[in-house]
Amino acid sequence: MARDEWDPRNLPDLSGRSYLVTGATRGLGYFSCEQLAGAGAHVFLTGRNPNRLVTAKAAVKRTHPDASVETLLLDTSNLGSVRAAAATVRARGRLHGLLMNAGIVHPPKTRELAGGHEKVFATNVLGHFALAGELLKPLASARGRMVWVGSMSTSIWTHVPTDPELREGYTPWRAYVQSKAATTALALEADRRLRAHSVPVESLVAHPGYSTSGRTRGIRGVNEPTRLTRFVDNLQAPFTQSKDEGAWALVRALVDPLAEGGSMYGPALVARGVPRSATPARRTRDSALGADLWRACETGTHVRWPFERVRRTAS
């Protein structure tokens, strides 16, 4: 198979490997779990709502009766919840992959706070920064990988996250695009720092194109779009795809043995298609922006990634 070819319907055997997915109760996170579990992986299906977790786990089991799936409460907007979930996973030893998918996709109309931080930044960015730092050791023990979920919106709109908490000029769309630009910049900064400290963990970015629930098969309690949503989403069919197809790029970034730290995957036709390598928006590749955001995340979460300690124990 050529380097950039990948059949998302025919994944490598993932038996004996374990993956954690945030925001796994619906959408791309749910379908990523289905695909990983279907390939034999053990999956930590995580979310903020216990009932939705039970429903999502049952749905994965209906599709793959032999799936090895466990649920774990993890609210990315709550650093206490992030720490508790990470402690549970650390106690298990090794983790082969972390998919940081959870996100507020439709932000509140006016600026709200979660744990003292702007809510979209807290949920989409800070919680994941803390989680990845807390899981560095089990990831390094497995020579594993972390995947941050970006968005093609960052290549279209030019919101640079120089004020990540959006103290001035909040709009819902700005909060969303900024959070995704920050996510991508942090993924690339993490790659630089992991390499500099010789920590055997790769950091990658993936984006799902434009994936809608109305173009996705119905699953009780997981994907139940209204008739109107189905109608409207189907009108956009030429430039959209289903959420299970959107999950392909996320899963490829997580499990393709040839994928490398610092790279990005997305749909071949940008908004839809089979997963191919992609290019992060130019301004997200700016290392000064990455370093500024890293500092903002350390200050906002009080988490410092334990690079040196992990390198010593991994070598």
Ligand X SMILES: NC(=O)c1ccc[n+]([C@@H]2O[C@H](COP(=O)([O-])OP(=O)(O)OC[C@H]3O[C@@H](n4cnc5c(N)ncnc54)[C@H](OP(=O)(O)O)[C@@H]3O)[C@@H](O)[C@H]2O)c1
Work out the number of other CB atoms within 10 angstroms of the CB of residue 279.
Answer: 11
Quote the least distance from Cβ 307 to ligand X, whole Å. Answer: 26
Quote the least distance from Cβ 45 to ligand X, whole Å. Answer: 10
Quote the least distance from Cβ 182 to ligand X, whole Å. Answer: 12
Nearest position to ligand X, beta carbon: 27
For residues 126 and 81, give the distance between their C-alpha atoms in angstroms, rounded to a whole number.
13
* Comparison of 15 and 226: residue with beta carbon closer to ligand X: 226
* Comparison of 35 and 123: residue with beta carbon closer to ligand X: 123
Quote the least distance from Cβ 285 to ligand X, whole Å. Answer: 18
Q: Residue 143's closest CA among 195, 95, 98? A: 95
Binding site for ligand X (CB under 6 A): 22-23, 25-29, 47-49, 52, 75-77, 101-105, 123, 149, 151, 180, 207-208, 210-211, 243, 246
b/e per residue 297-308 (b: at least 16 CB within 10 A): beebbebebbbe
Residues in a beta bridge with 148: 100, 205
Quote the least distance from Cβ 197 to ligand X, whole Å. Answer: 27
For residues 114 and 49, give the distance between their C-alpha atoms in angstroms, rounded to a whole number.
16
Amino acid at 106: H
Quote the least distance from Cβ 271 to ligand X, whole Å. Answer: 8
* Comparison of 28 and 39: residue with beta carbon closer to ligand X: 28
For residues 42 and 49, give the distance between their C-alpha atoms in angstroms, rounded to a whole number.
21
* Comparison of 199 and 222: residue with beta carbon closer to ligand X: 222
Residue 197 contacts residue 208 (beta carbons within 8 Å): no
Take residue 273 and report the two structure tokens written for it. 């298609």
* Comparison of 27 and 138: residue with beta carbon closer to ligand X: 27
* Comparison of 251 and 310: residue with beta carbon closer to ligand X: 251
For residues 268 and 61, give the distance between their C-alpha atoms in angstroms, rounded to a whole number.
30
* Comparison of 8 and 200: residue with beta carbon closer to ligand X: 8
Quote the least distance from Cβ 145 to ligand X, whole Å. Answer: 17
Quote the least distance from Cβ 128 to ligand X, whole Å. Answer: 9
* Comparison of 199 and 275: residue with beta carbon closer to ligand X: 275
